[in-house]
Amino acid sequence: MGKLRVGIAGLGTVGGGLLKLFADPRSRLNEKLELVAVSARDRSRDRGVDIGGYRWFDDPVELAAQRDIDVVVELIGGSDGPAKRAVETALQRGAHVVSANKALVAVHGLALAETSEASGGKLLFEAAVGGGVPMVKALKESVAGCRASAVAGILNGTCNYILTEMEASGRSFESVLADAQRLGYAEADPTMDVGGFDAAHKLTILSAIAFGTLPDFEHVRIEGVERVSLTDIRMAGKLGFRIKLVAKGALNDGAVEMHVRPALLAFDHPLASIGGSLNALVVDAEPAGQLTFIGRGAGAGPTASSVASDLIDLAEERAGHAFGRPLAQLSSAPRATPAERGRYYLRLMVADRPGVVAAISDRLAHEGISIESFLQMPAPEGPVVPIVLTTQTCARTAVEAAVSAMQALDVVVEAPYVMPVEVSGAHWGAA
C-alpha cells in the first residue's frame, strides 16, 4: 500500500504543531503518510513552517471533498459549522477522519460513527480528550478486557490551573482568571472551560467507551467553578481538602450517572495532587483495579502527538471502531439518579449577629444532618462573615431542604454554596 495522503483543516495551535511534525524528517509520520493539502482562515499567517508546497483550500469542506485525500485531520473546533460539515463530507465518501474536536464528538459522535460504519471511513479522536495523555486509547485497548465501573478525572487544564494558582498565590478567582487569559491559558470568553462544558464533552466520550454505551452529552449534569471563592480554597485547606473540578461517570446496575462539578478531595485522594494545567484520569475496572493516567492536557506538542498517533494507527491499519466496538454493541443506558447519600461542604455568608450559628445548626438538626467540622473566620471588612461546615454522611435531599431553609433566614446574605466531599474508593463517595 502506498502512503496515505493527508489534508489538515485548521492550522491553529494544534495544526501548527502537526505541521512541524510532518516537517521533521525524523518523524514516523513521513514513513507511511504524506501531507498534501491544508486549509485555514488566513493563508499569509506565519506558522513557522513553509506551507507553500501544499495545496491550499479556503474552504475546509472543499478540502474534505477531494477524492485524492485519504485522511482529513479536522482541527477547526466547534460542535457545528464548518468542522461538522467537513467531517461529514469526508466520512460520507469513505475517507478517514482524525479529529481533536471534543465538542463535535460528544454532541454528534453517534451520527458520525454511523456514517463511518456505513462508508468504511474510520473516525479517530484520541486528541479530543487529554491532550498528550492517551485516555481514549487506554479505554479502547488497555481496559478493553476489564469491566469498568467508574471513570473520574481532571479533564480541563484551564480550571485546574486557576484552582491551583488560587491556592498557591492567595489571589481571587477573578484575578487568576484574568492572568490565565493574558497568558493564553484561557479564552477571552472562558465559559466553555470555567462553566464545565469542555470537561463534560470529554466525559461524554470517555464514559461511552468505558461503559460500552451510546454517547449522551445531554445526560451530563454540569456545574462550573465560577462560584469557588478564595474563602472556599482556604477553608477547604484548613479542613484537609483541596478543591478540584471533577468529571465523573459511574455505571450502576446498567444505568449511567455523569456529572462535572467542583468537589472537595482529601489530600490523599488520587486526583488531589494533580496541579497546574495537568490532566488526569482514574478508572475503576475489574479485575485490573484502579488505573491512573496523568500528563499534559493541552498545547501544541502534546495534542499534535495524539493526532499523529491516530494517523500512524491508520497507516498501519490498527484503527478500530470510533467508540471501541461496533455501534450495534453499544447499549442505550438509562440515566442513573444522583447518589442518595454522601458528605457535603457548605459555605454561608452571614450577618455577624448573635444567634446565627444556633439558627444554622437548628436547620441542619431539623433535617437530621450531623456536622462533622465547623469553621468561622472573621471577614476583613464589613459586617458579613463566612461560615463553613462539612456534614457527616447524610441524605442529599436533606441537604437540599436544609439549604433552602437557611436561605430563608434574614441573616444569610447570599445563596449557600454546596460542594460534595469525595472520598477514595469505588465510585468515590457522593455522586
**Residues identified as active-site:** 202
Angle ∠(298,301,303) on CA atoms, nearest 5: 45
**Is residue 338 helix, strand or coil?**
coil
Strand partners, 384: 351
Residue where the block lists cell 470537561: 199
Phi first, then psi: give them for residue 287, nearest 5 degrees: -95, 5
Q: 3-state DSSP: the chain helix, strand, coil percent, rounded to 5?
A: 40, 25, 35
Q: How far apart are CA 266 and CA 243, in angstroms?
A: 9
The secondary structure of residue 11, as a DSSP letter, is -
CA neighbours within 13 Å on the CB side: how many for 430? 26
Q: How far apart are CA 324 and CA 102, in angstroms?
A: 16
* DSSP output for 187-239: -SS-HHHHTSHHHHHHHHHHHHHHHTB---GGG-EE--STT--HHHHHHHHHT
C-alpha cell at 155: 479533564
CA-CA-CA-CA torsion sign (365, 370, 376, 382): negative
